[in-house]
Amino acid sequence: MEKLRGVGVALVTPFQDDLSVDFEALTRLIEFNIENGTNYLVAMGTTAEAATLSTEERSQVISHIIKANSGRLPLVLGIGGNNTAEVRHQIEAADLSEFEAVLSVSPYYNKPNQEGLYQHYKTLAETGKQIIIYNVPGRTGQNIDADTTLRLAGEFPNLFMIKEAAPNISQYFDILRKKPAHFSLCSGDDEYTLPVTLAGGSGVISVIAQAYPKEFSDMVQLAFSRKVDEAYEIHNRLVDITRLIFAEGNPCGIKTVLAEKGIIKNNLRLPLVKASDILQEKIRNEMREISF
């Protein structure tokens, strides 16, 4: 899908000091990304701390993102879980009129085998909705093998993309080599964005890009244009801050960066906590080192 090409940003959910949702900060974050070249926005991903939001809060945040975006960028909505029947129900019940697609993480905790993963996404595909497969074994405890992804891609045209975040970059390349023409792969690992895009990927759904949207978007567009040296110059400047924001888990690192930029307050909901003082200082030092 051409609309979901380039840099997608997995938005954080900003919180006030009392841990209520900070809607003004969310608006600032959206405007900052729209003004600086982000191609599309992802609501209710892992980075949004969606697991700690009530049903009412999730609805309020989604509505606010739609309103603040005002049709300017394509939107993707995260709907996932480890109860296949419930995820299917949520997808069927959701108002997706403002969204290009659903991003659905593979079932976590249950640890299904490859046939179980295939059957899960087959069931979701039967909704007829446009769905992005999301493979992030570091969080789910189970990898979607390349063969399973390719099987799904070949049989269900509405499973049109995978956000791939396996720790083994060979898996990205195996999918890119063998995928059908209609199927896209975007990087789910910020550090792999450039090599994966150069190998034929469609870009990234990124965490760090919401803090450096212009730089990250420029890098991906340079990759599309095959301007490799210029793209790697940006990659090399951002690689250390990218590693730092994930050093103690996501989204505590990116919230530190966004707070330093004055876009949000550095608040998270339990069981997540702020980055350690040591990590925050490393992040501040690296932010001062980055020059564009």
Cα(250)–Cα(49) distance, rounded to whole angstroms? 9
Residue listed under structure tokens 């997706």: 96
Options 40, 118, 121, 134, the catalytic residue: 134
Options 40, 121, 129, 163, the catalytic residue: 163
Q: What is the pLDDT of residue 1?
A: 73
268, HSE (Cβ side, Cα atoms, 13 Å): 23
Could you give all domains of the chain from N- to C-terminal order, each with its CATH number? 6-225 (3.20.20.70)
Instruction: For the full predicted model, state whether its pTM sits above 0.95.
Output: yes
Q: Known binder of ligand: residue 47?
A: yes
Residue 163 is among the residues annotated as catalytic for this protein: yes
Q: What is the pLDDT of residue 2?
A: 86
Cα(10)–Cα(291) distance, rounded to whole angstroms? 24
Q: What residue ranges of the chain have pLDDT lower than 50?
A: none
Query: DSSP string spanning 174-203?
Result: HHHHH--TT-EEEESSGGGHHHHHHTT--E
- Copy the structure tokens of residue 276: 């350690």
Residue 282 is among the residues annotated as catalytic for this protein: no
Q: In the chain, where do the E strands start and end?
A: 6-10, 40-43, 75-78, 101-105, 131-135, 159-164, 184-187, 203-206
Q: Known binder of ligand: residue 205?
A: yes
